[in-house]
Structure 1
């Protein structure tokens, strides 16, 4: 597993790529729109490619860090045609956020090619990605996961192996509906408080020292207090996508999803208003305007 290829060098993928190459791995990446600036990676020795299939044909591990299920499917079996190009024995690592049922269907096709697919969804932010301190939520065959562990440890601080293929993506959707749903709830109540003239310093202090304390509040509080969204550079439209993925998964499983529906509806209303590119903490201001 000496040649590592990446598709998706965006906000999260850039940090993954940088840590892979600085920790001694040979890195190749697809040069495409949507990447962060990659001059630093090239300076470090990474090789850019303009054709995904040609790059996939030379790699031992292909890492995908794209937006979601449609993009993963397109890269592997659509216009990217990377699955057909993979050599037997190669491993696909999908760090995207995706629908587990699609992941499992793709894994079957990958196995027919004589390769393996491991889902390794990410949590945390671009800051931790650059620092090599991501959380990875992993699903796959145990032997393959252990084979990959040294590579994953190049850019992850914590690795949670959730089970077989698709389990990593399932855990990511569970994580995101809880974390992003909590952010949305905090933003909604903050908008209510601000609209009524409450002292927001007192409100944040009260929440921190009570049952609402935690990572979600810590990432939204800077925006409540000083309109700083730097601690959660995650867009409303991406959160809306993730909520939709969770609800699709819950529907497929016959599980209750009343709370998740409410989160998706709130985010969807903001997307429909043209606010999808705003970061999640900005809901504090956006929800002061009634939909």
Structure 2
């Protein structure tokens, strides 16, 4: 199979390199200013394309790894989008974090063209993408999943079929709500501890030995203790987008979202102050109280 990818960002770059290095597939990619450096991909034989339509025309499987629903819609159904270059039988694998209603709408448009669409949002981090150890939550026709599974195996550790089209993105939004919610709460607690002159390592040890032990603590601990943000290179603005997607999903279904609203308010105050591109662990500092005039 020939593989294409649209979105060679922090996550997409790791996917692309493993599709070629581990999977041995030929690869076409959208040449875009938002890409990570593609020198390695070019050396491995990847072919740049000017439009998503060109990527689609060169591919049997197209992986989409962009920011959110507006970008997915533009990539799939835009003027030079994938839809205008697809040949019957092509399968689109949407690894973005998007609203389920967008997923189902894109799936219907692609299906009408005689092609397949599955949502396969990722869990884990850019480090796991680079190492080919992502986990995918796949919604859609199980037969389509089996058709593309060999490609997915080149950059994943675990691939779960979770239900019909759109359910992958529902579960991803639930996952990110819980994950970002935990880390926002922990960042607020760590900021309070720092303001109270509690040693960061002591805080981490106390939490790890009790009810605070969690993946969220594991990911924020390097920043709490050493100021190292690189363990979770996930922009606060992206976290806000994901929480707002969850709130939209909850609103449409009539589900409670009281805590989600609180998380959104905490994060939006940071992005509105111009810190949206800071990484999520940096919330620990951004939540701290301002120093007094005397510097204390």
Q: TM-score, length-normalised on structure 2? A: 0.96
Give the Cα–Cα distance (whole angstroms) in 2 for the partners of residues 247 and 151 of structure 1. Answer: 33
Give the Cα–Cα distance (whole angstroms) in 2 for the partners of residues 197 and 131 of structure 1. Answer: 38
Query: Which aligned pairs between 1:118-197 and structure 2 lie closer than 5 A?
Result: 118-197=118-197
Query: Which aligned pairs between 1:102-113 and structure 2 lie closer than 5 A?
Result: 102-113=102-113
Contact persistence 2:51–2:81 (CA under 8 A)? no
Contact persistence 2:100–2:169 (CA under 8 A)? yes
Cα gap change, 1:246/1:80 in structure 2, threshold over 3 Å: closer, same or farther?
A: farther
Contact persistence 2:28–2:58 (CA under 8 A)? no
Count of aligned positions? 289
Runs of 4+ residues over 6 Å off in structure 1: none
Superimposed CA distance per residue, residues 244-272 of structure 1 (whole angstroms, 9 cap, x where no aligned partner): 00000111111111111111111111010
Name the counterpart of 1:74. 74
Name the counterpart of 2:268. 268
State whether structure 2 residue 47 is matched by structure 1 residue 60.
no
Shift of 1:79: 3.8
Give the Cα–Cα distance (whole angstroms) in 1 for the partners of residues 238 and 63 of structure 2. Answer: 20
Give the Cα–Cα distance (whole angstroms) in 1 for the partners of residues 80 and 224 of structure 2. Answer: 42
Name the counterpart of 1:9. 8
Give the Cα–Cα distance (whole angstroms) in 2 for the partners of residues 163 and 75 of structure 1. Answer: 24
Q: TM-score, length-normalised on structure 1? A: 0.97
Superimposed CA distance per residue, residues 25-70 of structure 1 (whole angstroms, 9 cap, x where no aligned partner): 1111011111111111111111111122122122111110000100
Name the counterpart of 1:241. 241
Superimposed CA distance per residue, residues 96-133 of structure 1 (whole angstroms, 9 cap, x where no aligned partner): 00000111111111111111110010111111101000
Q: Which runs of 5+ in 2 are unaligned?
A: 291-296
Name the counterpart of 2:37. 37
Q: 1:129 aligns to what SS in structure 2?
A: helix
Shift of 1:241: 0.2
Name the counterpart of 1:224. 224
Shift of 1:84: 2.2
Give the Cα–Cα distance (whole angstroms) in 1 for the partners of residues 231 and 82 of structure 2. Answer: 35
Contact persistence 2:3–2:27 (CA under 8 A)? yes
Give the Cα–Cα distance (whole angstroms) in 2 for the partners of residues 232 and 199 of structure 1. Answer: 22
Name the counterpart of 1:281. 281
